[in-house]
Structure 1
Amino acid sequence: MNYLEDFIKNFYMHLGINNPIQLKTEDIAHKLNIGLFNWNEPSQALFLNGHPYIFLNCHTPHNFQWQDFCHELGHILWHAGDQMRLPTSFVEYQEFKANNSLFMPLCQLLCLMNWIYQRYMMKP
């Protein structure tokens, strides 16, 4: 596994997630003490008084909301600073890095494969 895959695996393990049924934005946000809200504006993450919040666009289809959640979670986990005040090149870097968070949904597949293997392939 590479660094990102190890991070994702350890991240899910830390949250007690070991099967795809547990991959819910509300549950993950709650476990990480992140305020999660739907609104009519583009999705974004921010810190207010040191507390993280993720705002998801309520008009985005559910599967794309998951992608937006992962992207914004990447900002919460790895970034600091107000992008409105950062140099453009650094904002681009942060966006590229947050897009790596989109690999988190791919980990659903790994969880699912592991769950199927444990449930149906291993003999008791």
Structure 2
Amino acid sequence: MYTHLEDFIYKLLTSIGIKRPKDLDMHTIANKLGLEISYDEEKIFYCDNEINLKRSTKMQEWFDFVHELCHYLRHCGSQINMHPLFRQLQEYQADYFTYHFCIPTFMLDNLFNYTIYDIMILFNVDYEFAFKRLEMYKNKLLLTKGII
């Protein structure tokens, strides 16, 4: 059984034809969602249908894109005058979304006998990110089986 977030990500990705790890490409996703990606050396943000990124490594740009995509899809309004605790909550939600979007549960469910290194290569993430996401995934499996 998927959580609300996992279900949201599954429905979103499959509705735009993203079904395998190799389909996870920010330009393809942005195009299918009607978003534009632009670059600025100062700030990372989204405004209307544009996500602005800093030029960096492909992996970092992917993380930043997904983080901002969460704000675009799941949050409204500007954080400029927002109470700091609410802004902190939105940032936490966007980080959590990033783990689940970059390595979707429905894609993990289709893998067998994989290592952290397999996940790193398959999903183009670093070791720390893959480790943390697999811990989330394994803990959820244990929780649903009533082990923890």
Common fold: TM-score over 0.5? yes
C-alpha separation between the residues in 1 aligned to 2:80 and 2:108?
39
* 1:16 matched residue in structure 2: 17
Structure 1 runs of 4+ aligned residues shifted over 6 Å read: none
C-alpha contact (below 8 Å) 2:10/2:106 kept by paired residues: no
1:42 deviates by 2.9
> What SS class does the counterpart of residue 18 from structure 2 fall into?
coil
Counting matched residue pairs gives 110
* 2:83 matched residue in structure 1: 87
C-alpha separation between the residues in 2 aligned to 1:34 and 1:115?
30
Match status 1:61 vs 2:57:
yes
1:69 deviates by 0.7
- Paired residue type of 1:100: Y
* 1:4 matched residue in structure 2: 5
Identity %: 30
C-alpha separation between the residues in 2 aligned to 1:90 and 1:18?
33
TM-score w.r.t. the length of structure 1 is 0.78
Q: Cα RMSD over matched residues?
A: 2.0
Alignment gaps of 5+ in structure 2 = 113-148
| Matching residue within 93, 96, 100 for 1:100 | 96
> What SS class does the counterpart of residue 110 from structure 2 fall into?
helix
TM-score w.r.t. the length of structure 2 is 0.67
1:88 deviates by 1.2
In structure 2, do the counterparts of structure 1 residues 2 and 113 end up closer, same or farther at CA, with 3 Å as the change threshold? closer
1:112 deviates by 7.0
- Paired residue type of 2:39: N
Q: Which has the higher contact order (CA 8 A, sep 6+)?
A: 1
1:65 deviates by 1.0
